[in-house]
Amino acid sequence: MKSKVLVQREPIEELSKAYMKELRLYNKTKREYDVDPYAEVFRFRDNVYGIFTHSADGMGDPWMYLIIGPEKAMLIDTSFGIGNLKGLVDEITGGMPLIVVNTHSSVDHSYGNCQFDKVYCHKITAPFLEMEQTPHLWDFLTDENGNGIWLDFDKNDIIPFKKYEIVSCENHHIFHLGDDYDVELIWLPGHHAGHTGFLDKKSRILFCGDSFLSMRVGINGPRPGKPYGEYFTVHAFRDELEKLVLRLDEFDTLFPGHFIVDIANTVIPNMLKVCRDIVDNPENYDYMSVDTRGREQKFRFVNGLGTIAYRDVSVK
Ligand SMILES: [Zn+2]
């Protein structure tokens, strides 16, 4: 990889760290492509790839996923936009028509959007992406000399900003990849108001973004000056999990936005149970800590997964 992590701002939990080290050192499907030296590509199923990149802001390294359907391919998330992601995807798919989607608008999942002409997302994510339509997106990643603060990378490898079309979708929107290969958008708010998962019914995988992570699922409440504060809550997450838990027969595993992949769907009822508990009794937390922005967070353990972190303002 051309990039090198300089500062890990958020400490990574040991099991996730060990898993990622093993995967990146020994997984036999791993491939690197000259066209994009900032990515490692893993083939998790015959037609499903994971694209690993380094985090450029010192947080957890993000995953992107690429599904190859019979007629179209789908790219889930676009990472930081450092390196030629579009060239990489075209090389893997052989230039197939491509649908690009975002699980949410956070920096580590959407800053590569401008390499593409069109990006689909849940309707609540659309205004957040609109606010990011600026060539100054990446300014905070480098110091006054143009050197990466948290990640060493060549600033010239950022593909220049270009406006792109944002297509806002309703919950349960279906993307057709050809024949009967369908992927469904499923709204899973909490970590972000418009946060979604994508259900690949053929592979029986839920690409769940940051709503399930082997480390810490952060639900931090309303963003100052931004809309939809009521959906940045454990309450909103719980309400949608009540519906998702009735659909466990439609998929087997979760592929999250960071760290451990291929997690059994049995963690969904575990997460739901904890979310119900938090809403009913927010003071019943397992431990408390302070995040990278100095905010106090309360933590609950989630069996088989990791933790969920919340604040007083992010419960209801
Ligand atoms: Zn993330």
The 10s digit of each residue's pLDDT in 72-121 is: 999 999 999 999 999 999 999 999 999 999 999 999 999 999 999 999 99
Confidence band of 65 (pLDDT split at 50, 70, 90): very high
What CATH class is the domain 4-314? Answer: alpha beta
- For the chain, the average pLDDT equals 96
pLDDT greater than 90 at residue 169: yes
Ligand 1 centroid from CA 247, angstroms: 24
The neighbouring-strand residues paired with 207 are 198, 255
Ligand 1 centroid from CA 19, angstroms: 18
Confidence band of 312 (pLDDT split at 50, 70, 90): very high
Ligand 1 centroid from CA 162, angstroms: 23
Confidence band of 291 (pLDDT split at 50, 70, 90): confident
Phi and psi of 229, rounded to 5°?
Answer: -55, -30
Ligand 1 centroid from CA 180, angstroms: 30
pLDDT in tens, 201-217: 999 999 999 999 999 99
Ligand 1 centroid from CA 242, angstroms: 23
pLDDT in tens, 233-260: 999 999 999 999 999 999 999 999 999 9
Ligand 1 centroid from CA 145, angstroms: 27
Ligand 1 centroid from CA 196, angstroms: 12
Ligand 1 centroid from CA 54, angstroms: 12
Query: What is the model's pLDDT at position 304?
Result: 95
Q: Provide Rg for the chain, Cα atoms.
A: 18
pLDDT in tens, 121-144: 999 999 999 998 988 888 899 999
Please give the DSSP secondary-structure letter assigned to residue 158.
B
The residue written with tokens 């050809």 in the block is 178
Q: Domain coordinates of the chain in residue numbers?
A: 4-314
Ligand 1 centroid from CA 250, angstroms: 25
Ligand 1 centroid from CA 164, angstroms: 21
Ligand 1 centroid from CA 187, angstroms: 16
Confidence band of 293 (pLDDT split at 50, 70, 90): confident
Nearest to 85 by CA among 122, 44, 143, 41: 41
Give the DSSP per-residue string, 108-151: HHHTTGGGSSEEEEETTHHHHHHHT-STTTTGGGB-TTS-BSSE
Instruction: Show the CA angle centred on residue 300, arms to residues 299 and 301, nearest 5°.
Output: 125
